[in-house]
Amino acid sequence: MYESNDSSDDNDESLSKQVLPTSDDANGPIDLNKMPTTGEEYLRQVRFQASQLPDFQTATQRKKRNTTSSTSKNHAWHKLFPSTTANTTTTSDIPIKHIVSIDWQNEQCKLFSDVRNDFFQMRDRLRIANKKYKNAKLKTANNYWKFCFGDDIPFQSPLPSLEIDDQQQTQNSLPTMTKMITLTQPQLHDLLQHEIDWLKQCGCSIHLALYTFATLVAIEKPINEDVMYTIRQTCLAWKQTRMRLINPNDNEKPVDDSLIKSCDVFVCIIGRYFGQFDLADTSD
């Protein structure tokens, strides 16, 4: 599903080439807010989205990874958002290009795959052990907001950049595996749609990134067209957020590198693990 460490630049380029033909003179403008109803409309949307995205350069140089032992009790997906590793994907001598290495992307896909396997194994064990396991009762957007952020953060208020280790603010609403297991597949789809809206309306935070990642972990395969469409919209939203973070306005505060790293993670796993290669960061 994702690229191996032996992937070459030629292979990367082949993934971005058009495979299925579409009519260049299709009638009417492209409406990205409308769900495609035919294969033709879907391919036109994909091609249009790809043409609007900025070019990002991936580095193919293989660098030694610093490995550190950790006794942290953080959940597995926390490991993908540490600010301490932000410097592994950028180089100071290239101020314009945002470098996302192929090795790093492969590593994130491997970690994501491992977390998914752990999640589904735990889910199946709990369901076998407890036949009366209850699903979460979530209907409104406010219900989903409280599920993620608790009662302390008002509904759809600007999201602070919560740190992973700030247990006083996040300990009651972290996306633990046992918590995410309570959601049905339709609820996970609804949650992912809400997370896109919150990212656009309320801003980017590590806490929101954790929940978005956990939601993607819990989505089962095979993935139907509606859910994949939402997953693609998730990638586009985080790409747009990354552009704003990399190119801030003069009056904006400096951005925590961990937020940019969060964006890189979502572009990586959606583009490569979920096979949406037209959205992935590829080499020029």
CA-angle at 255, arms to 162 and 234, nearest 5°: 70
pLDDT of the residue at 87: 36
Encoded amino acid at 130, one letter:
N
Closest CA to 219 of 275, 264, 274: 274
pLDDT of the residue at 49: 65
Please check whether the domain covering 102-130+141-155+162-284 is classified as CATH 2.60.120.560: no
Closest CA to 227 of 185, 265, 195: 185
Contact 89, 51 (CB under 8 A): no
- Between CA 269 and CA 139 the distance in angstroms is 28
Q: For residue 173, give Cα distances in angstroms to 50, 140, 144, 182, 250.
A: 35, 18, 12, 14, 34
- Tens of pLDDT, residue by residue, the chain (284 residues): 454 444 334 444 444 444 445 555 455 677 766 666 665 666 676 666 666 655 544 444 434 334 333 333 344 555 455 433 333 333 333 234 677 899 999 999 999 999 999 999 999 988 888 777 788 999 999 999 999 998 888 898 888 654 444 444 545 578 988 899 999 999 999 999 999 999 999 998 988 999 999 999 999 999 999 999 999 999 999 999 999 888 877 666 666 788 899 999 999 999 999 999 999 998 65
- Domain regions of the chain by residue span: 102-130+141-155+162-284
**Which residues lie closer than 8 Å to 47 by C-beta, 6 or more apart?**
18, 22, 278
- Between CA 272 and CA 112 the distance in angstroms is 11
Two tokens, residue 175: 């996306």
pLDDT of the residue at 128: 84
**Which residues lie closer than 8 Å to 246 by C-beta, 6 or more apart?**
98, 260
- Between CA 162 and CA 29 the distance in angstroms is 40
pLDDT of the residue at 173: 78
- Between CA 202 and CA 195 the distance in angstroms is 10
- What letters, b where the CB count within 10 A reaches 16 and e where it falls short, cover 42-58? bbbbbbebeeebeebbb
pTM for the whole structure: 0.67
Q: Write 210-214 long-range contacts (CB < 8 A, 24+).
A: 210/77, 210/78, 210/81, 210/164, 210/174, 210/175, 211/148, 211/175, 212/238, 212/266, 213/77, 213/80, 213/81, 213/175, 213/265, 213/266, 214/77, 214/175, 214/180
Contact 36, 45 (CB under 8 A): yes
- Between CA 269 and CA 7 the distance in angstroms is 16
